[in-house]
Structures are given as structure tokens and as C-alpha cells.
């Protein structure tokens, strides 16, 4: 990217150029890993700051050395969150099954009462 005369990049442009999500780039900016400026309501990353971010902490010119590690961390975090959501969903499913079973038991009990002791239950209109 250093051979271009472009001064700055929008987050969407960075994501598209690198083949990563815009959310990943925005997260990097929010965490302070990617230096950005606000210009007329847009988030702009200067070319030199983008190059520094891509070089990563060890200064190598591999364009993914810094971003790749953070992308892997982000992916791992998202997988953990997905697993937590999946576990909560399973818990809710189990509770729904218990409630459904309880409703069936109550209905069955009411039917038995209705058949064996109709005077216990209020009259149906």
C-alpha cells in the first residue's frame, strides 16, 4: 500500500483490501491497535498508520503478522461466545421441555378429576 498516493483509508476499504470483516477492523481501531482519525463523521486511517498496523509489533513486512494474530484471537473469542449462546439455548430448551411436561401432567390430572369426581371442578359454561 506504500506505493500509492492515497493518504487515508476508510475502515470498509481496509477490510475489503485485506479480505477481513469491517467489524474486525473497527474492533482493532476501538482497541487502539489501529490508529484512526475522525474526518467529517468518517473514520479514516492514514496510510502510514495502516502500514504500521500491518507490520505488527515485530516490524516485519508480512502484511498479516500483526493483524493475523488479532484476527485469530477475535475468531477464538467469537467461538467462545457462540458456544455460550448455544449452551444457554440448550438450557432454555430443557426448561421448555420441563414446562411442557408439567402442563401435560396438569391436564392429565384435570381429566382424571373430571371423570372421577366431577363435583370438585367448577362447571363448564
Contact 18, 66 (CB under 8 A): no
Instruction: State how many domains the chain has.
Output: 1
Residue 35 lies in a domain: yes
In a domain, residue 89? The reply is: yes
| Residue 45 resides in a domain | yes
- 123 part of a folded domain: no
Strand order in the sheet with 8-10: 8-10, 42-46, 37-39
d(CA 79, CA 73): 10
- Which of 35-44, 59-68, 92-101, 113-122 shows the lowest mean pLDDT across its residues? 59-68
Query: What is the span of the domain harbouring residue 92?
Result: 8-116
Q: What is the pLDDT of residue 111?
A: 87
Cell numbers linked to 81: 461466545
**H-helix segments, the chain:** 11-18, 22-30, 47-55, 65-116
Asked if residue 121 belongs to a domain, the reply is no
- pLDDT tens column, 50-72: 988 887 766 554 545 566 777 88
Report CA dihedral (55, 18, 7, 52) to the nearest 10 degrees.
-10
Amino acid at each position: 500500500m506504500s506505493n500509492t498516493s492515497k493518504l487515508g483509508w476508510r475502515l470498509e476499504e481496509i477490510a475489503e483490501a485485506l479480505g477481513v470483516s469491517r467489524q474486525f477492523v473497527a474492533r482493532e481501531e476501538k482497541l487502539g491497535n489501529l490508529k484512526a482519525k475522525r474526518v467529517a463523521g468518517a473514520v479514516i486511517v492514514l496510510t502510514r498508520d495502516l502500514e504500521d498496523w500491518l507490520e505488527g509489533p515485530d516490524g516485519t513486512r508480512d502484511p498479516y503478522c500483526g493483524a493475523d494474530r488479532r484476527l485469530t484471537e477475535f475468531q477464538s473469542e467469537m467461538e467462545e461466545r457462540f458456544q455460550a449462546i448455544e449452551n444457554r439455548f440448550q438450557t432454555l430448551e430443557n426448561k421448555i421441555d420441563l414446562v411442557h411436561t408439567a402442563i401435560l401432567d396438569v391436564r392429565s390430572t384435570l381429566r382424571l378429576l373430571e371423570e372421577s369426581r366431577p363435583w370438585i371442578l367448577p362447571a363448564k359454561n
